[in-house]
Amino acid sequence: MKKIFIVIIIFLSVGILSCQKKNSDEEAANAAKQYYEQLLSGDYDSFISGMNLSDSVPDGYREQLLTNTKMFVAQQEQEHHGIKDIRVVRAELDSSGITAQVFLMFAYGDSTSEEILVPMIIQGNGKWLMQ
């Protein structure tokens, strides 16, 4: 009877751990997608705030990040008629659970698409940020 009880406990533990990993994968993917959706809606400050250590950079560097972000959006508009849709392809959590690789698919206005990789890192407060 004790053996059955121990086996059940082990299966429950494995099940709970696997669910936690899946949720973290999904959380990282949803965060990455949300940051890029903010970018497309013109909320550049929120996009930059989604970058790791963005709160500790000097104001001059933050202004450069803002300028580069705006230039990226303008370049996508010029070359591809803008990004029209963002879709999560997959997310892979590393074994430590601290970083994840999120693959997003950009659908452009010129009917082309491109898969990009967004490296993510989780902060102590459980918030996923772009690396």
The string of pLDDT tens digits covering residues 24-62 is 889 999 999 999 999 999 999 999 999 998 888 899 999
- Residue 23 has a pLDDT of 56
The partner residues of 19 in beta bridges, in order of sequence, read none
φ, ψ of residue 75 in degrees (nearest 5): -65, -40
- Residue 74 has a pLDDT of 96
Contact 28, 100 (CB under 8 A): yes
Place of tokens 């950079």: 57
* CA neighbor of 48 nearest in space, from 21, 22, 24, 72: 72
Q: State the CATH number of the domain containing residue 29.
A: 3.10.450.50
Confidence tier at 10 by pLDDT (50, 70, 90): low
Rounded to two decimals, the pTM is 0.79
For the chain, how many structural domains are there in total?
1
Mean confidence (pLDDT) of the chain: 87
